Amino acid sequence: MTERERVLTLLGGGRPDRVPWFGDLDYWATALIGRGLKPAAFKASDAYIEWHRDLGVGFYLQGYFPFRTIVEGCRVTEWREGQARRRRVETPRGTLTETWTWLPDSFAEAPTEHLVKSAADLPAYRSLFEHTRYEPDHAFAETRARQVGGAGIVLCYLPKSPFMQMVALDAGIAAIAEIAADAPGELAETLAVVRAAHDRAARIALAGPAEVLMIPENLSSEVVGPRFYDLHMRDYHESWCREIAAAGKYSCIHLDGTLKGLLRQVAGAGFTFVEAMTPAPVGDLEVERWAEWCGQGARTVFWGGLPGVYFTDKVPDAEFERHVRAVLRVMASEPRYVLGVADQVPPDGLERRVRRVAELADEFGRYR
């Protein structure tokens, strides 16, 4: 079987010849490009998929929202200052500013000034989404479908839930916690406005060529626990899982942090699979306990198991081998798991480790 055949068989409720092995290599590739070891256009090229084939790892992630975001009736200004990427949004109800700063040592950027800083910014934030529309942009997904072949699957993103749009990108958890305590009604009003916009974008994603649709929440249960989940996220997840299933596609969510506080809730929302799951000793829940933790009746597929740090020389070869074999022992017990990176191979990843996983999956990933 190809990796594509394996994973589609498993997601469809069947039994492939062995545990599928898929890895998110995007972050690693970004670092290789930044160091001049790969060409600038590498990640969009046929060569990127061939790289996955050569390494023996299935392809699935491309970080692609299949729509264009268009803001009308607001003045949006973007500029750079050294390593900082800045944006100013002037709306009919106030002005918002944000800064994202590039960290060259880690080949990543992070928010150093959030768009929403307090409840005082919520009117302008609502105005921004009231003036936002979306247009289909499926060309890259169509290109990926041509490129991928048997090497993997085509996956696109829906928008984040409105709550995680604010937590992960636009406000941060500290500001959201304060707003939730001081102005819960206005927070709910704001999330409803964002939801209306995100639902429009999600319908565009649903109509595209992707076989799998992800809600890329970047969840971790020490940041968003069951209370916030039930109040502000569950309905979005359940609604769009139903829509995705009705369209004949597979759904997933990105849960790449601690698991105990949210895995049971997320598994009950209707997703086909939960992706980028980080086990102990890096995370807080052993692979052996994932199914037990979700309770009887939940049949969500679990995708992950190999923490990113295990692909670096910070973890000895012997521990890497032990961990991969231990994870495969669990995953080969029933066709409910996809072996994956949790959550990405990092910039200092070792090629020989990625190649070794494919060998171990062939040797120890056969179902018993």
Residue 120 — φ and ψ, nearest 5°?
-65, -25
Check the CA dihedral 211-215-221-225 and report its sign.
negative
**Helix orientation angle between 46-55 and 351-364, rounded to the nearest 10 degrees:** 60
- The pLDDT mean for the chain works out to 97
Confidence at residue 325, expressed as pLDDT on a 0 to 100 scale: 98
pLDDT of residue 295: 80
Give residue-wise pLDDT tens across range 160-192.
999 999 999 999 999 999 999 999 999 999 999
Neighbouring C-beta atoms of residue 218, cutoff 10 Å: 18
Band (62; pLDDT cuts 50, 70, 90): confident
pTM (2 d.p.): 0.96
In this prediction, residue 296 has a pLDDT band, given cuts at 50, 70 and 90, of low
| Residue 22 and residue 60 in contact, taking contact as beta carbons nearer than 8 Å | yes
The residue whose two tokens read 């009887």 is: 296
Q: Model confidence over 280-293: pLDDT tens digits?
A: 999 999 999 999 99
Domains of the chain: 3-70+135-364 (3.20.20.210), 73-130 (no CATH)
Q: What is the pLDDT of residues 97-155, one digit of tens each?
A: 999 999 999 999 999 999 999 999 999 999 999 999 999 999 999 999 999 999 999 99
Order across the sheet with 250-255: list the strands.
21-22, 337-342, 301-307, 273-277, 250-255, 212-219, 155-157
Q: At what angle do helices 46-55 and 139-148 cross, to 10 degrees?
A: 40
Whether 102 contacts 30, CB under 8 Å: no
Q: What is the pLDDT of residue 63?
A: 80
- C-alpha angle 367/241/365, rounded to 5°? 15
Asked whether the predicted pLDDT for residue 34 surpasses 80, the reply is: yes
Q: Is residue 158 pLDDT above 90, yes or no?
A: yes
